[in-house]
């Protein structure tokens, strides 16, 4: 729930960054041989272990590939090309193909200085190994008769360019197997270490790149909001967690030693958002050098509870469309950057989440009752609710639409 004091709840938001779902497209390098040659075995269907291969990854190279969308895609293409060659090969050539692949699997580790065993690579090791593996996999794909496509151009020479995966390493590690040990990393090293990962820029200035979590592609996007003193900036950062989850954070970002070598990127989270409509950040404005204005998305129960600490949000949630995609409205807070204190400012409904939804499918009498309570205060939508109107709405719903044990 979103409350007017303190931080918004963390449950169900950034904690899901460690979620490890399976993905049918996952292909670990060490599984290439078994998967590619399985069709050659008499009466044996292709094994399905690759679906959860990244869940079981332990080798450093596999952990790296499973957390890098570009390498995952190339590994899949290498697998397909190897399978195609195996299907065309004469029986006497199959052993040669297997032996060649085994040699290549060992050589890629030596060439890219990746240890065969141990824990996940450090960030420095990752930045050195990932672009190298990108090159090695592209070469292997061509050697197998596949199409690698053009390599990503080198990043711009602008020393202030920030790759989204560099911010991600500092703010949560969604797309990195290892997080930064402190709040700074060398920007140039990180940029070069992610040069194989394409970056796109939207018309609104948002910058995006793909990552991965345990073989599931993710997306990291940021947009600059405004400047503070001493070179610090406010960013809004969105992170998809694979499948449907999407989380947000307001961060303070700075380049320390800009113009010197090496400049260090610093980033720290100021405000965490929840999952989409369940507390996700809809908008951020820098009102002045000390104050942020943040609009959070809210489900119906959260909207009713935000101005009234006594509102039983958990009891009403299931009756009032609690899903993370059921945006009911937004609630606006003022966030003091000096103290971290947060103050509720207003709420806004563009429409109800139930427009076009039959009440019989979503709680019937409860929805009708809440609709009536909203209409009594806001006959027409959209409507900007004052804090007092939000509190009155909450109290009216509790009186007119009671819920509880036995009701």
| Range picked from 2-6, 65-69, 364-368 for highest mean pLDDT | 65-69
Q: What residue segments make up the domains of the chain, in order of their start?
A: 1-272, 276-407
Residues paired with residue 212 on neighbouring β-strands, in sequence order: 217
pLDDT of residue 334: 97
d(CA 188, CA 283): 30
pLDDT band at 131 (very low <50, low <70, confident <90, very high): very high
Q: Is the pLDDT of residue 252 over 80?
A: yes
Which candidate, 11, 6, 5, places its Cα nearest to that of 279?
A: 11
Which candidate, 4, 159, 139, 167, places its Cα nearest to that of 78?
A: 139
Instruction: State how far the alpha carbon of 252 is from the alpha carbons of 15, 91, 146, 270, in Å.
Output: 20, 61, 44, 7
In percent, how much of the chain has pLDDT > 70?
A: 80
38 or 160: which leads in pLDDT: 160
Give the H or E element holding residue 128.
helix 123-143
pLDDT of residue 91: 74
Residue 356 neighbours by CB under 8 Å, 6+ apart: none
| Range picked from 181-185, 260-264, 336-340 for highest mean pLDDT | 336-340
Virtual CA dihedral for 16, 19, 21, 23, nearest 10 degrees?
A: 90
34 or 269: which leads in pLDDT: 269
pLDDT of residue 355: 66
Output the average pLDDT for the chain.
81
Q: Is the pLDDT of residue 366 over 80?
A: yes
Q: Say how many C-beta atoms besides its own lie within 10 A of residue 392's C-beta.
A: 17
d(CA 27, CA 73): 9
Q: Is the pLDDT of residue 364 over 90?
A: no
151 or 254: which leads in pLDDT: 254
| Range picked from 5-14, 243-252, 392-401 for highest mean pLDDT | 392-401
DSSP codes of every residue in 195-248: TTS-EEE-TTS-EEEEEEETTEEEEEEEEEEEE-GGG-EEEEEEEE-STT-EEE
Q: Is the pLDDT of residue 282 over 80?
A: yes
Q: Is the pLDDT of residue 292 over 90?
A: yes
Secondary structure (3-state) at 329: strand
Query: What's the pLDDT tens digit per position in 91-119?
Result: 778 888 888 999 999 999 999 999 999 99
- Angle at 374 (CA atoms; ends 370, 378), nearest 5 degrees: 170
d(CA 242, CA 17): 9
Does the pTM exceed 0.85? no
**Average pLDDT of the residues in 66-76:** 93
Residues paired with residue 297 on neighbouring β-strands, in sequence order: 330
Whole-number CA gyration radius for the chain: 26
**Average pLDDT of the residues in 7-34:** 34
Which candidate, 335, 270, 236, 349, places its Cα nearest to that of 302?
A: 349
């Amino acid at each position: 729930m979103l409350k007017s004091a303190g931080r918004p709840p963390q449950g169900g938001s950034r904690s899901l960054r460690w979620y490890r779902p399976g993905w049918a497209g996952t292909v670990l390098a060490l599984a290439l041989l078994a998967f590619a040659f399985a069709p050659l075995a008499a009466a044996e269907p292709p094994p399905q272990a690759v679906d959860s291969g990244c869940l079981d990854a332990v080798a450093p190279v596999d952990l790296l590939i499973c957390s890098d969308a570009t390498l995952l895609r190339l590994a899949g293409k290498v697998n397909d090309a190897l399978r195609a060659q195996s299907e065309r090969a004469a029986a006497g050539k199959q052993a040669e193909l297997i032996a060649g692949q085994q040699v290549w699997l060992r050589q890629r580790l030596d060439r890219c200085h990746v240890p065969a065993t141990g824990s996940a690579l450090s960030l420095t090791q990752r930045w050195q190994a990932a672009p190298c593996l990108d090159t090695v996999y592209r070469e292997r794909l061509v050697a197998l008769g596949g199409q690698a496509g053009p390599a990503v151009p080198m990043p711009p020479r602008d020393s202030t360019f920030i790759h989204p995966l560099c911010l991600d390493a500092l703010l949560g590690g969604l797309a990195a197997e290892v997080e930064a040990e402190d709040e700074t990393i060398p920007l140039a090293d990180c940029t070069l270490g992610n040069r194989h990962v394409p970056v796109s820029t939207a018309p609104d200035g948002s910058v995006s790149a793909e990552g991965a979590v345990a073989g599931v592609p993710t997306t990291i996007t940021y947009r600059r909001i405004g400047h503070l003193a001493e070179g610090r900036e406010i960013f809004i950062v969105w992170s998809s967690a694979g499948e449907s989850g999407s989380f947000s954070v307001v961060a303070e970002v700075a380049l320390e030693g800009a113009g010197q070598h090496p400049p260090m990127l610093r980033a720290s989270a100021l405000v965490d958002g929840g999952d989409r409509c369940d507390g996700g950040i809809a908008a951020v404005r820098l009102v002045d050098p000390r104050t942020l204005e943040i609009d959070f998305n809210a489900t119906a129960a959260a909207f009713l509870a935000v101005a009234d600490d006594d509102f039983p949000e958990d009891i009403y949630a299931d009756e009032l469309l609690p899903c993370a995609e059921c945006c009911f409205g937004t609630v606006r807070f003022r966030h003091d950057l000096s103290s971290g204190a947060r103050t509720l400012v207003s709420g806004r409904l563009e429409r109800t989440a139930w427009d076009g939804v039959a009440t019989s499918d979503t709680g019937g009498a409860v929805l009708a009752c809440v609709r009536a309570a909203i209409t009594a205060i806001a006959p027409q939508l959209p409507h900007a609710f004052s804090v007092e109107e939000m509190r009155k709405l909450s109290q009216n719903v509790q009186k007119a639409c009671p819920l509880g044990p036995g009701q």
